[in-house]
Structure 1
């Protein structure tokens, strides 16, 4: 589903002389619930609409590799693979033999030599659950090809460390991250698995075969649905993290489930509340599994919340729990009882790699901030999934303010199709530099393209002695400002209507538009046509349409 802009009152958009300040409408500042279409939309064309993935900021790869190597599950798999040197005997499935199962558990420190009677021991006093855990880690090491099968001189089955192990142990960044990605994929696949359906009583050979095929088909369908649910949940969590303010990346499980269930712009009804509960219960064990590989941090649902209820009130109880889970009035302690999930830096890295593997454009913050000001402004203006303020902050970091302002002003010039939006972005960027750039801004006060925005910048900073613009500059800047904002909105009729409704049209619209249609600007006619189509005052709209016709006729 295409991303939509949202208003950001913290940064006033470009405003020229004669216009009123408007809320900032920046390119691709998306609403989370509009992304991915993972919340139950019935739109038949939803699958044909573009998927916009917001940009993220990742840690340096060496830091990510260090975090990956420190994940206990992966560290144990690496340790167990080295322990297998030169080889260990295995069965036909590649599993360790009983004697080495105990030795592996001891090597990993999974249990003390004496179990203290807390669980049923196997040979050597090692608890059975510790041995099973060692076997699970051995299986992961095998899946990751840290250990590989072979035959010894006598033809017996053995397994030992692979060549893949050495660069990982040496801390090679690429090798470690590749190994972690493979491990995360294995664990995510296992997380989506469900217990097989119980076998049914013997009903004859043919009947049993037919029933087995039916059960297998149902099982595979449920598995696929679970995997799809987890995939969608991780994608939405990725987006929530991208948009979150620092320190606010944690998402209540009920909110995550609601984003997957409730169509955009709707309030959940009783049926949806039941579905939200089902999604929360389904995701709970899967997210717990993913926490083990370092993909996310997860606080599970408090089991007391979902104790088995009487059948006749089960639906009501589930709906009540779901309503409480998504309630904005819930305090932190109450919300935590319904589950909390937070994507880790490793998780951001991993999900982005999966998105790239699926062919999605998953950009990084700073991709447009590596060149000069022209590349910055043009890149942001043309991109559909970019966070402008983030890109601007990256570009400004470490630059000398006055020099940066001059470069931005020069890059804002032009009459190409995105020039108005480029000027609006330049004004936003220069506004971040503060009062120190005043002298550079004053240098362009007489420039037809930049003078109006320059005055707006100076006035927003409280500067004195800012000369009044002449009427032609006021009119040109008015057209340019609205053109930039309309370009930014990219055809979103609802937000365009809000913008046009705020337009400060004088008591004499005929006189105002009688001046405006004469402005020599590439977007004069289009701006007037949009006003004529969307302005709520019929008198204003009529005069705008007449002016648009004159502007078109002149060309």
Structure 2
């Protein structure tokens, strides 16, 4: 059975990723980003700039969090800079063994492996600036299969990630570059070591790719703040992972950050000059991330870039350390449960979601699918309950009996009466009467859910309130629902018109709500 294509997407509430994305682009502070990504020293141990907690146990007693080391500024974190909530949509990931296979197959990791092998146990001499000697630099580039212009980038990733370390040479002022701790951990071969070493390299690429570009022309980069922009791109891709971002959209984000939000034509001149002389830094960053198998590039110029499973895994690990709940889905299509279907709503691209849910409904039948969704909704929090309810509504008349049975559950009674009222017009020959006049107190749970979602913030977002209200209430039924709520005895029911009257952006709905609040 196909879902009702005319209904709104079931995923629009589960994480509000688009809203989070807009907030992040508007809200992140460039000074916080600069503090978040430590990059003042051109040679930094991964333990001081390590982006992810997954690499933490590689440092012994020195653990990293966010993009800054513990002890430097514990208040600066991804969740604080990007103003993230306590919960984000689920991530669908393969098993660790499959992720490790993907990591081992990354071209950039193969280059780093070749570099470590070439250095050997005895290492190679380096200059006072911690660079390879000219002849060795040329040979290292040849061994890795890259051009000499690419060597500064790979070398910086290796140093920052502690893939390469320095040992004292025979002379007082002579040091030698040798394979570092991360390289040895990678060579260990087990899946956990592989993923943790990969994630440190991922950290290095995000933190250093644009920094290396800027260092190659310091004068041109003087008025541009490249620092931290790779991090911004990665986080925004993670937040908007259901749809991804176009390369041009990413370029707009990076430009805004590089220019510290300045928009005048004069402020843009350094950026335009950089593009003219050095090319688009976003294209180079994407190429490096693709070589690491951290992103999936589109097939067309106007297609969307999306994070690959390895990067999703790494970012999820970091955000979870900061106390953000991000469910992980590992079930295959044949193993999906109602909870997985709800979690998928904002986790995968829309076309994939529609196909998976359609197949799931077909396999179970509309009635069984509706019952499973509503059973999950009854024991879920407001956010997930609204998604499950909305998905059930999309099943149309096939969910009729499930909605009738849901009248027995106080958590679902209000939703069930609304749904059955809408279905009544489509069931003219139905011999079982539908209950169309609910007791106002039946709507207590609907009101409580709406309050928990939209009204719990100190500064509620009118657009978010409108979106959530629209999910719970069918078009044209706003006045009826507000009137019913105003008649209820439960305080949560009475509060909803008050909040709607104050914050709903639709003036008609707000006016109705204010009148209902006064009557209540």
TM-score by length of 2: 0.58
> Residue 183 of structure 1 corresponds to which residue in structure 2?
201
Check whether the contact 1:479–1:524 (CA below 8 A) recurs between aligned residues: yes
> Residue 51 of structure 1 corresponds to which residue in structure 2?
84
Tell me how far apart the structure 1 counterparts of residues 260 and 450 of structure 2 sit (CA, whole Å): 28
Tell me how far apart the structure 2 counterparts of residues 342 and 494 of structure 1 sit (CA, whole Å): 26
> Residue 361 of structure 1 corresponds to which residue in structure 2?
324
Give unpaired runs (5+ residues) of structure 2.
31-78
Equivalent residue for 1:489, pick from 454, 458, 466 = 454
Q: How far 1:518 sits from its partner (Å)?
A: 4.4
Check whether the contact 1:85–1:160 (CA below 8 A) recurs between aligned residues: yes
After alignment, is 249-258 or 364-373 more displaced?
364-373
Change (3 A) 1:465 1:58: closer
Change (3 A) 1:349 1:288: farther
Equivalent residue for 2:253, pick from 256, 279, 282 = 256
Q: How far 1:251 sits from its partner (Å)?
A: 4.7
Check whether the contact 1:238–1:351 (CA below 8 A) recurs between aligned residues: yes
Tell me how far apart the structure 2 counterparts of residues 98 and 25 of structure 1 sit (CA, whole Å): 57
Q: Which structure: larger Rg?
A: 1
Q: How far 1:455 sits from its partner (Å)?
A: 1.8
Deviation per residue, 1:488-543 (Å, 9 max, x gap): 4334335657959965547xx9xx95x76543445332234346656648985675
Tell me how far apart the structure 1 counterparts of residues 364 and 136 of structure 2 sit (CA, whole Å): 64
Change (3 A) 1:57 1:347: same
Q: Does 1:87 align with 2:128?
A: no
Equivalent residue for 2:284, pick from 282, 288, 307 = 288
SS at match of 1:35: helix
Check whether the contact 1:406–1:440 (CA below 8 A) recurs between aligned residues: yes
TM-score by length of 1: 0.56
> Residue 226 of structure 1 corresponds to which residue in structure 2?
226
Check whether the contact 1:296–1:347 (CA below 8 A) recurs between aligned residues: yes
- 1:98-247 to structure 2, matched below 5 A, reads 104=140, 107-108=143-144, 141=158, 144-146=161-163, 149=166, 161=179, 165=183, 168-169=186-187, 171-187=189-205, 188-193=207-212, 194-195=214-215, 225-240=225-240, 242-244=241-243
Check whether the contact 1:89–1:159 (CA below 8 A) recurs between aligned residues: yes
Change (3 A) 1:365 1:475: same
Deviation per residue, 1:368-418 (Å, 9 max, x gap): 9999979999x99xxxx999x999979x9699565564454445559x9x6
> Residue 526 of structure 1 corresponds to which residue in structure 2?
495
Tell me how far apart the structure 2 counterparts of residues 464 and 529 of structure 1 sit (CA, whole Å): 40
Deviation per residue, 1:166-208 (Å, 9 max, x gap): 663464322222222322333432531434788xxxxxxxxxx
Tell me how far apart the structure 2 counterparts of residues 134 and 476 of structure 1 sit (CA, whole Å): 69
> Residue 116 of structure 1 corresponds to which residue in structure 2?
none
Check whether the contact 2:247–2:282 (CA below 8 A) recurs between aligned residues: no
Q: How far 1:452 sits from its partner (Å)?
A: 1.0
Change (3 A) 1:180 1:504: closer
Change (3 A) 1:461 1:354: farther
Check whether the contact 2:119–2:178 (CA below 8 A) recurs between aligned residues: yes
> Residue 16 of structure 2 corresponds to which residue in structure 1?
28
Change (3 A) 1:409 1:35: same
Check whether the contact 1:192–1:230 (CA below 8 A) recurs between aligned residues: no
Q: How far 1:33 sits from its partner (Å)?
A: 1.8
Give unpaired runs (5+ residues) of structure 1.
1-8, 15-22, 111-128, 199-214, 300-331, 549-555
> Residue 104 of structure 2 corresponds to which residue in structure 1?
69
Tell me how far apart the structure 2 counterparts of residues 262 and 160 of structure 1 sit (CA, whole Å): 38
Deviation per residue, 1:405-453 (Å, 9 max, x gap): 4454445559x9x66x665444224346676655444434566753514
Change (3 A) 1:59 1:279: farther
Tell me how far apart the structure 1 counterparts of residues 496 and 179 of structure 2 sit (CA, whole Å): 68
Deviation per residue, 1:447-498 (Å, 9 max, x gap): 6753514525755986951744446526445665455445443343356579
SS at match of 2:226: helix
RMSD: 6.0
> Residue 547 of structure 1 corresponds to which residue in structure 2?
519
Change (3 A) 1:133 1:532: closer
Tell me how far apart the structure 1 counterparts of residues 103 and 6 of structure 2 sit (CA, whole Å): 37
Q: Does 1:473 align with 2:438?
A: yes
Q: How far 1:75 sits from its partner (Å)?
A: 0.7
SS at match of 1:226: coil
Check whether the contact 1:431–1:457 (CA below 8 A) recurs between aligned residues: no
Tell me how far apart the structure 1 counterparts of residues 306 and 375 of structure 2 sit (CA, whole Å): 42
Check whether the contact 1:532–1:541 (CA below 8 A) recurs between aligned residues: yes
Tell me how far apart the structure 2 counterparts of residues 482 and 280 of structure 1 sit (CA, whole Å): 52
Tell me how far apart the structure 1 counterparts of residues 82 and 16 of structure 2 sit (CA, whole Å): 15
> Residue 26 of structure 2 corresponds to which residue in structure 1?
37
Tell me how far apart the structure 2 counterparts of residues 162 and 263 of structure 1 sit (CA, whole Å): 36
